Amino acid sequence: MIYNLLISILLFFLKFVSIFNLRAKTLINTRNNINQKLSNNIKKKDKVLWFHCSSLGEFEQARPLIDYYFNNFSEYKILITFFSQSGYDIQKNYKNAHIVSYLPFDKKNKIKNFLDCFKPKILFLIKYEFWPELINQTKKRKVKIYSISSVFRKNQIYFKIYGLFFKKVLRKIDHFFLNDLSSSNLLKDIGILNTSVVGNTKFDRALKILSNNTEIEYVSKFKSNKMCLVLGSVWKKDLEIILKNLNELKNLKIIIAPHKPDKEHLDYITKNINSNYSLFSSKKKSFKSKILIVDNVGSLNKIYKYADIAYVGGGMGKSGIHNTIEPAVYKIPVIVGKNFLKDNDTKELVDLKGIVSIQNSNEFIDTLNFLIKNKKNRNKMGVINYKYILSKSGSVEKIINKINLK
């Protein structure tokens, strides 16, 4: 009751803010008519497998499972829901789903009305998506709920004295497919034993992208026969230590992919580089440009194919390190900022010396120059990264076998 009251207050505040805030307005407007859209595409008699992802990163983790069930269980309809606009906008026409929708706000009546439109057989929650009312209302309808690629840390609310409400929510989940043993032990400490440590589905997804070997013609011509540095998912804090050094790097092609390719970040990049550049979306792209700025979302995991060295953003600020596995699968060295310890895979690869962590601008340029001049070291680090990913793959098959859908 208290939770729903808080959600109601937040929604009221959001509607008020939406009068003068475009982002809040979009958050509300994108959820208009989602029930009608759902009813038009899925009938109540249909058997539905429902995958809920917060955004694009979680979708990529779910994708191997989505593709498997779509291709092997044609009697089921596939529903994908997103919370964020970025994930929805890019995947709203995903070919291996019957419908892609926004998730309603987590208020009792909104979730109930949404669930009245169809009858899910299974709800897959990807990573951290533990919305209390979503889980409560889904369980009331006797739907199986599986948590996929979830990871827990002891500083989370579920493991605090005051986190009883959220512990009860977790206990309604039928099974947790976890990334690591420490997560399993944390859940065990609060009485949750229905867990399997299978690893992260992102490793299987990375290997699939590698095997697809997708060619991006312009990027291939842009790189030509020169070395290429890809700066992936970078934030302003990353750019502050990187951009000042770019002009020192001769005979090197550079691709910059900001995590948020909005006007603010793109303007910051273009104002702080003194080299000629092209925008990925431009019809007037020049192969002779030194720098290519990726001003859209969704292509980075394929662009990494053209990198000889990659820098993955998030580690110079508090936003958290982004996906280092996406570039690492291409057998290349990876550089990250100093704040990476919350990501176990990055931490392990730093320990194995496949990834290098830098503290400041000087360390960045020194590390980069060392790697540019030492092909043997680049290859060695790349092999370490690739072997690590191979050793961690196979989680999708373990999940499929455990669920044993018939």
Which pLDDT value is given to residue 230? 98
User: Are residues 233 and 313 located together in one domain of the fold?
Assistant: yes
User: Are residues 338 and 363 located together in one domain of the fold?
Assistant: yes
User: Are residues 261 and 215 located together in one domain of the fold?
Assistant: yes
DSSP state of 162: G
User: Are residues 183 and 303 located together in one domain of the fold?
Assistant: no
Q: pLDDT tens digits, residue range 92-110?
A: 999 999 999 999 999 999 9
User: Are residues 183 and 216 located together in one domain of the fold?
Assistant: no
| pLDDT tens digits in sequence order for the chain, 406 residues long | 789 899 999 999 999 988 988 888 998 999 999 999 999 999 989 999 999 999 999 999 999 999 999 999 999 999 999 999 989 999 999 999 999 999 999 999 999 999 999 999 999 999 999 999 999 999 999 999 999 999 999 999 999 999 999 999 999 999 999 999 999 999 999 999 999 999 999 999 999 999 998 999 999 999 999 999 999 999 999 999 999 878 778 889 999 999 989 889 999 999 999 888 999 988 677 788 899 999 988 899 999 999 999 999 999 998 789 999 999 999 999 999 999 988 999 999 999 999 999 999 999 999 999 999 999 999 999 999 999 999 999 999 999 999 988 7
Show Cβ contacts of residue 75 under 8 Å, excluding neighbours closer than 6 positions: 47
Which pLDDT value is given to residue 318? 85
Rounded CA gap, 203 and 103, in Å? Answer: 26
Q: pLDDT tens digits, residue range 333-364?
A: 999 999 998 899 999 999 999 999 999 999 99
Specify the residue for token string 């982004």.
322
CATH number at residue 354: 3.40.50.2000
User: Are residues 293 and 310 located together in one domain of the fold?
Assistant: yes
User: Are residues 378 and 399 located together in one domain of the fold?
Assistant: no
Bridge partners for 102 per DSSP: 82
Q: Is the pTM of this model over 0.95?
A: no
227-234 vs 252-258, strand pairing mode: parallel
User: Are residues 115 and 212 located together in one domain of the fold?
Assistant: no
Rounded CA gap, 264 and 143, in Å? Answer: 43
Domain that holds residue 338: 207-392
User: Are residues 215 and 198 located together in one domain of the fold?
Assistant: no
Rounded CA gap, 331 and 335, in Å? Answer: 13
User: Are residues 240 and 343 located together in one domain of the fold?
Assistant: yes
Is residue 244 exposed (0-12), middle (13-18) or buried (19+ Cβ within 10 Å)? middle
User: Are residues 144 and 35 located together in one domain of the fold?
Assistant: yes
User: Are residues 197 and 214 located together in one domain of the fold?
Assistant: no
Domain count within the chain: 2
Q: Which helix (H) or strand (E) holds 371?
A: helix 361-373
CATH number at residue 175: 3.40.50.11720
